[in-house]
Amino acid sequence: MRGRGRGPLLVSEEPLSFYGGVDPLTGKIVERGHELYGRSVAGAILVFPYGKGSTVGSYTLLRLARRGKAPAGIVNLASEPIVVVGCMLGGIPLMDSPDPNPIALKRELEGREAELVVEGGTGLLKVVADVRGEEGGP
Amino acid sequence: MVQLTPEEKGMLAGSLGEGVALAMESVVRVAEVLGAPRLVKVSSAHISGVSYKNLGEEGVEFLEELAAKGARFSVPTTVNPAGFDMEVYREMGVGEEEYELQMRIVRALASMGARVTLSCTPYLINPPSFGDHLAWAESNAVLYANSVIGARTNREGGPLSVLEAIVGRAPYVGLHTDEGRAPTVVVDAGGVRSFVERTGAVSALGYLLGAKVKAGVPLLVNAPRNLAHPGNLRLFLAAVGAASSIGMVLVEGVSPEFKRVEGLKEIALEEGELERVLDKWSGEAFDAVVLGCPHLSPGELAELASRLGGRRVKGRVLVFTSRWAVSRAADAVEALRRSGVEVYADTCMVVGNLSALGVRRCATDSAKAAFYLSNQGYEVVLAPRDFLLKAVLSSQR
């Protein structure tokens, strides 16, 4: 989806199920055993391979967006209908097929402040600052 | 690139209003992601995921806004079961707040032109014809339309089906296309055929097929003869859908598009595997027998009433069906109620709340229901309907 968003990068190597896997009221990841269990997607630039699980997950993204708890942007390696429809309904910028693959750079990117700009069918993901401490706070 | 007709481009540009434009943009975006060259007009839509638990307050607002922006379903549209029976919701332990939220969803869908069927069996209520393109969500309905009728739909997904119903189109891809309907694997049921015919384990068979094959279009050969019974076929296909992402099974002797194909990979189903499915949901004790996943048809309600023959059931029996079937089989429903059977319409054991009805441990003939109910924390026994009816008709439990 078109649009721009800014927030800390939250990177998952595993697919994510929004229905049942993310609390629609708070944005917390509640799928047991998931590598991001307990983390919140709210305000983050969320990077994961692709969505999985029930198609009701699209409504979870819509609900998060209306509560101000949605990701500021989503980056998928390969989009599938659940996340595409959810981002449309929630007005969340969505980029797919990023090159280079940000998931392979998880350790370097995790937690960094990034900006996602999607327009005219292309997306740009840009690290804008390091908020992990070395260069001070925002 | 998705090729759009001038009419579709107009919809995208807002010629029919903001709601239609949003819907069109979403459908086109999904078509791009799926690699569809174009959209295809559909003759009907079926929406799933309409219970208040799924949508929440925000989802309800979204539907109301769509309706307020003038979006209307451009094709005949039916809807899946809701969280409770609209007539007897108080007896089902539903509070006024939940009731109001659910009713707002139903009213929003109805105001956009949906027929308030609240059933997972649109193929009975609004049957499509061979070759029709559909935008159906709800996996058991998708499997039935493709496999038994020869109509064409992907498992479109609940939220997407709302948008497809508005634009009257779906991405032309997958099961909408001839290539997408070609079998991908041969499944030989010869090894379990006599077991299923003897025990009636048709639903467990569907679950096994789904769990083992997972995706694609299986061609089922040497199918048990009792699979052709309409009720059994529905139980079988629903279980396939619960255990996999499969949207079509070509069943020998049933599917109009069945034909033998050479050179495909073959998978044989074995008796031991089927027994392991049954072992997943085995047990002795239960508080209630729950039937109707998928919703029972008028014919099945009549069969059930005749099987009970006016005798009172010992223990609780809950039956889930559509208001359409209740109106078609009013005498049978009356007889079932006299026998002590609780008959509910508009909802089911999976999207409703069995615990509010006092049920913790249940027995069912549906592996789909068994799968979802055990995920929700219920203790579940899976057994053929006839076995369960014998249990509630005998004095020993």
Nearest chain A residue to B157 by CA distance is A55
Dihedral of CA atoms B8, B10, B13, B16 in degrees, nearest 10, equals: -100
Please answer whether residues A113 and A6 qualify as being in contact, where contact means their C-beta atoms are separated by less than 8 angstroms. yes
With an 8 Å Cβ cutoff, are A89 and B26 in contact? Answer: yes
Which residues, including other chains, have CB under 8 Å from residue B220's CB and lie 6 or more apart? B187, B189, B209, B249, B250, B251, B252
Please answer whether residues A86 and A92 qualify as being in contact, where contact means their C-beta atoms are separated by less than 8 angstroms. yes
With an 8 Å Cβ cutoff, are A56 and B54 in contact? Answer: yes
pLDDT for A52-72, tens place per residue? 888 889 999 999 999 999 999
Chain B residues whose CB is inside 8 A of the A89 CB are 26, 62, 159
CATH number of this structure's domain B6-179, picked from the four choices 3.30.499.10, 3.40.50.720, 3.40.50.20, 3.40.50.150 = 3.30.499.10
Chain A residues whose CB is inside 8 A of the B159 CB are 55-56, 58-59, 62, 85-86, 89
With an 8 Å Cβ cutoff, are B159 and A86 in contact? Answer: yes
Element (H, E) at B208: helix B202-213
Q: What is the DSSP letter of B145?
A: I
Please answer whether residues B294 and B87 qualify as being in contact, where contact means their C-beta atoms are separated by less than 8 angstroms. no
Alpha carbon B23 to chain centroid, angstroms: 24
The CA distance from B372 to the nearest CA of chain A, in Å, is 12
pLDDT for A107-135, tens place per residue? 999 999 999 999 977 899 999 976 554 43
Give pLDDT, residue A136: 34
Give pLDDT, residue B395: 57
**Looking at residues B56-65, what average pLDDT do you find?**
93
With an 8 Å Cβ cutoff, are B26 and A88 in contact? Answer: yes
Give pLDDT, residue B378: 95
Burial class (CB in 10 A: 0-12, 13-18, 19+), B166: buried
* Residue A44 burial (CB count, 10 A): 23
User: How many angstroms separate the CA atoms of B75 and B210, rounded?
Assistant: 31
Residues in chain A: 138
pLDDT band at B284 (very low <50, low <70, confident <90, very high): confident
Give the domain ranges of chain B. Answer: 6-179, 182-278, 282-396
Give pLDDT, residue A137: 34
**Looking at residues B30-59, what average pLDDT do you find?**
93
Is pLDDT above 50 for A138? no
Dihedral of CA atoms B175, B72, B62, A42 in degrees, nearest 10, equals: 40
Please answer whether residues B85 and B333 qualify as being in contact, where contact means their C-beta atoms are separated by less than 8 angstroms. no
When scoring A58, A67, A122 by the number of chain B Cβ atoms within 10 A, the one with the most, hence best to mutate, is: A58
With an 8 Å Cβ cutoff, are A59 and B29 in contact? Answer: no
pLDDT band at B396 (very low <50, low <70, confident <90, very high): very low
**Looking at residues B189-216, what average pLDDT do you find?**
97
When scoring B29, B60, B376 by the number of chain A Cβ atoms within 10 A, the one with the most, hence best to mutate, is: B29
If DSSP codes are grouped into helix, strand and coil, which group holds residue B381? strand
| Superfamily name with CATH number, domain B282-396 | Aconitase, domain 3 (3.30.499.10)
CA–CA–CA angle B283, B288, B293 (5° rounding): 90
pLDDT for B84-137, tens place per residue? 999 999 999 999 999 999 999 999 999 999 999 999 999 999 999 999 999 999
With an 8 Å Cβ cutoff, are B159 and A79 in contact? Answer: no
User: How many angstroms separate the CA atoms of B376 and B70, rounded?
Assistant: 38
Closest Cβ opposite residue B29 in set A54, A62, A84: A84
The CA distance from B197 to the nearest CA of chain A, in Å, is 33
User: How many angstroms separate the CA atoms of B40 and B311, rounded?
Assistant: 52
pLDDT for B132-149, tens place per residue? 999 999 999 999 999 999
The CA distance from B31 to the nearest CA of chain A, in Å, is 9
Q: How far apart are the first and last CA of chain B?
A: 63
Query: CB-based contact (8 Å) between B36 and chain A?
Result: no
When scoring A31, A59, A64 by the number of chain B Cβ atoms within 10 A, the one with the most, hence best to mutate, is: A59
B6-179 and B282-396 in the same fold: yes
Structure token digits, residue B350:
């999976």
pLDDT for B238-247, tens place per residue? 999 999 999 9
Query: CB-based contact (8 Å) between B178 and chain A?
Result: no
Catalytic residues of A: 54
Half-sphere exposure of B170 (CA within 13 A, CB side): 30
If DSSP codes are grouped into helix, strand and coil, which group holds residue B342? strand
The percent of residues above 90 in pLDDT, for chain B, comes to 93
Q: ipTM strictly over 0.95? A: no
User: How many angstroms separate the CA atoms of B73 and A27, rounded?
Assistant: 32
Nearest by Cα to B135 from B158, B119, B109: B158
Tell me the whole-structure pTM to 2 decimals: 0.92
Chain A residues whose CB is inside 8 A of the B62 CB are 62, 66, 89
